[in-house]
Amino acid sequence: MFPKFFGVLVLTLASMALAEDFTYHDDGVPSCPVRDDAKGNATIVPDPFNCTTFYICSNGVSHHIQCPDNLQFNTNLRVCDWPEEVQCELFELPGEDGLAGVRVRTI
């Protein structure tokens, strides 16, 4: 069984800046800041379409990261966590327009 948090992942994510204000491109990839913060910390951004992945933005480049098996990204703690600890639900938008079938993350 996995421990509640993975030490290396927690330490890595804890040392990065949290994304307070960010935008996404149409494909769901975040618009990353060109530079990391003054301390050199990357920015952590949740994936808007998948509860089990997130992005790490480093010097303007986004890196799509998959949480280990059976874990989801906790947007409050900025770590991969057990699903029962994460408030994330995906649903498909109804309708026949261009957004029909798009999966949207709710938190």
Q: What is the pLDDT of residues 54-98, one digit of tens each?
A: 998 888 888 999 999 989 999 889 899 999 999 887 666 566 655
Q: What is the 3-state secondary structure (H, E, C) of the chain?
A: CCCCCCHHHHHHHHCCEECCCCCECCCCCECCCCCCCCCCCCEEEECCCCCCEEEEEECCEEEEEECCCCCEEECCCCEEECHHHCCCEEEECCCCCCCCCCEEEEC
> What is the pTM for the complete model shown?
0.63
Higher pLDDT, 47 or 37: 47
How far apart CA 21 and CA 37 sit, in angstroms, is 13
Residue 19 has pLDDT above 80, yes or no: no
